[in-house]
Amino acid sequence: MNNDELEIREALATGENLDRIIIKALYDDSVLEELMKYLDDDLWIVSKNALITLLEVAKEKKALYRLLLSRLMTLIRKSEAVPLTQEIAKAFGVIAKEKPDLLRKAIPILFASYRIGNWKIKVNMSYVLEEIMRSNPMLLGNIIDDIKNMLSSKETADKLSALNFISALSENDFRYIGPFLPKILNLLYDPNPVVRAAVVETLVELGMKNEKFRVLVLSKLQDLNDEDTLVRKKISEGISKLLLKENPSI
């Protein structure tokens, strides 16, 4: 490893002088190649900062997004550090905004990886799909039915992930939520109290974002008489939040 390589890796490991590395990468392809190499570094912080740096470079060198996407598809499957996984997911979100056509073909692959992967891959793919939903939900038209089916799954993890996906979708545009509402409301009576509590949280979150829906959620929660302590607590907290949103002077 020469002095330039040591300087780059040290900057990535400490998070210092990244702006200098970005400038170098804009004008020196060898620095760009080094940064791409460090995406696979043994230290997750080096990989994370390499990705942050490359995304900054990609703002000027748009062709870099294609190379990054190819690497990200591999990295997300093996990432074990949550901060790195979150940064990879954010990168997918950036590409969803900047180069949606580039990412479109990858969506079915990402969702299939979620469906058939082990628990670690499922978690990692959840981060990615949520970020894409926040950034550009139009890309997810082909998997809306799959998310609806997850709400009816026998697996608790699928139901909880679907609720997270729907919350992420609502951050972009509430109109994407309509197709899911009947099944979400049905889950208020799911046998599993963990699912019921998560549904209450999701409904409250949605109600906070939409005035008309807030009235429906308040009505539903006020009529609920759940026997589980956790669910009752979530209902009480949710009603208080929604009432405060309706009447800030309370």
CATH code matching the domain that covers 62-150, chosen among 1.20.120.350, 3.20.20.60, 3.40.50.970, 1.25.10.10: 1.25.10.10
Q: What pLDDT score was predicted for residue 228?
A: 95
The pTM assigned to this predicted structure is: 0.78
Which pLDDT tens digit goes with each residue over 94-134? 999 999 999 988 888 888 888 887 888 888 998 999 899 88
Q: Tokens for 95? A: 């590409």
Query: What is the Cα–Cα distance from 192 to 226, expressed in whole angstroms?
Result: 12
Q: Are 110 and 129 in contact (CB under 8 A)?
A: yes
Q: What is the average pLDDT value for the chain, to the nearest integer?
A: 89
Which pLDDT tens digit goes with each residue over 186-196? 999 999 999 99
Query: Which part of the chain has CATH 1.25.10.10?
Result: 62-150, 174-250
| Residue 141 pLDDT exceeds 80 | no
Q: What pLDDT score was predicted for residue 178?
A: 84
Percentage of the chain lying above the pLDDT 90 cut? 60
Residues contacting 96, CB < 8 A, separation 6+: 103, 131, 132, 135, 136, 139
R_g of the chain computed on alpha carbons: 21
- Mean pLDDT value across residues 153-160: 91
Query: What is the Cα–Cα distance from 18 to 31, expressed in whole angstroms?
Result: 12
Q: Are 114 and 126 in contact (CB under 8 A)?
A: yes
Q: What pLDDT score was predicted for residue 170?
A: 82
Query: What is the Cα–Cα distance from 163 to 203, expressed in whole angstroms?
Result: 9
In the three-class reduction of DSSP (H, G, I as helix; E, B as strand; rest coil), residue 80 is classed as: coil
Nearest 5°: the CA angle 195, 201, 203 is 100
| Residue 250 pLDDT exceeds 70 | no
Spell out the CATH class of 174-250.
Answer: mainly alpha
Nearest to 39 by CA among 59, 4, 63, 64: 64
- Cα within 13 Å of Cα(207), Cβ side: 26
Which pLDDT tens digit goes with each residue over 203-249? 999 999 888 889 999 999 999 999 999 999 999 999 999 999 877 76
**6 confidence band (pLDDT: 50, 70, 90):** low
Query: What is the Cα–Cα distance from 6 to 49, expressed in whole angstroms?
Result: 15
